[in-house]
Amino acid sequence: IVGGSFTPIESHPWVAALFHQRRFVCGGSLIAPCWVLTAAHCFSDGEGTNIKRLSVYLGKTAINDTDADREQSFTVKKLIIHQKYNESNYNNDIALLKIKSRNGGCAVRSASARTVCLPPSHTQLPAGFQCSIAGFGMERFAAWHYSQLLKQTEVKLLPQTECKSQLYYGDLITENMFCAGSPDWSTDACKGDSGGPLLCEASGRMFLFGVVSWGEGCASRNKPGVYTQVTNYNKWIATKTGLSKYTKG
């Protein structure tokens, strides 16, 4: 996250940190005790697809520190990359991880780990609506390493027409993507925030509306962050996870 502020995991307890061997790879969101929603492109570098080497942590505020009292660690039992994920344009950039703890269980609810709600299928929020993003991604586009601590920031939803204008991204934006940014281009998601959540409050609750997907640079003028439109995937998520009460969190 460029700009924004440091935040304890208790403020975003659905944030998951995904590692490949000992290396931090991506963020994710806990949508059910056994399921983490993330981005498909987190696994498209080839090496990330060996699920035996993947681990998922919940309850982590510092990426390189063990916080035994608060964190929960998991292996990945199943990696489901969207069947229509297109790695050339990042269309359908969404994936599910079925997680399993060492003792065979799933996530245990605590102050530092809980599920987030998926928005009802056809919820549409107006342009200009303020939402929040969180992650361990870089604090500058050309940073040398990821943020040591979890950060969060606020971004506003952009009109699809604006994001599809030639000045922004033109036809790179599909109907499965939306853009969000800050009016002064000072804050944004960045490398390493991928897979993590964009949350918006609707009717008094927080919902997972977006998955951090891509962008040209970070906090660059006219190049907002691009997010996977989670509401297009309610059915896909329900089918793949077998969860029926998926909108109720």
Please identify every residue annotated as catalytic.
Answer: 41, 93, 194
Residue nearer to ligand 4AZ on the CB measure, 41 or 98: 41
DSSP H helical ranges for 136-242: 160-163, 234-241
Q: What does each C-alpha distance from 179 to 120, 153, 192, 225 come to in angstroms?
A: 20, 15, 18, 6
What are the residues facing 205 on neighbouring strands?
Answer: 202
Residue nearer to ligand 4AZ on the CB measure, 217 or 249: 217
Q: Which residue is nearest to ligand 4AZ (CB)?
A: 215
What are the residues facing 153 on neighbouring strands?
Answer: 133
Residue span 138-177 as binding mask against ligand 4AZ, x where in contact by CB under 6 A, dash where not: ----------------------------------------
Instruction: Choose the binding region for ligand 4AZ from 89-97, 145-153, 182-190, 228-236 (rule: CB under 6 A).
Output: 182-190
Backbone angles phi, psi at 22, to 5 degrees: -100, 5
Smallest Cα–Cα separation from 1: which of 174, 163, 198?
198
| Distance of closest approach, residue 235 Cβ to ligand 4AZ, in angstroms | 26
Among 37, 199, 218, 237, binds ligand 4AZ (CB under 6 A): 218
Smallest Cα–Cα separation from 16: which of 141, 157, 116, 143?
116
Instruction: Choose the binding region for ligand 4AZ from 57-65, 68-76, 152-160, 214-222 (rule: CB under 6 A).
Output: 214-222
What are the residues facing 17 on neighbouring strands?
Answer: 27, 57
* Site residues (vs ligand 4AZ, CB under 6 A): 188-191, 193-194, 212, 214-215, 218, 225
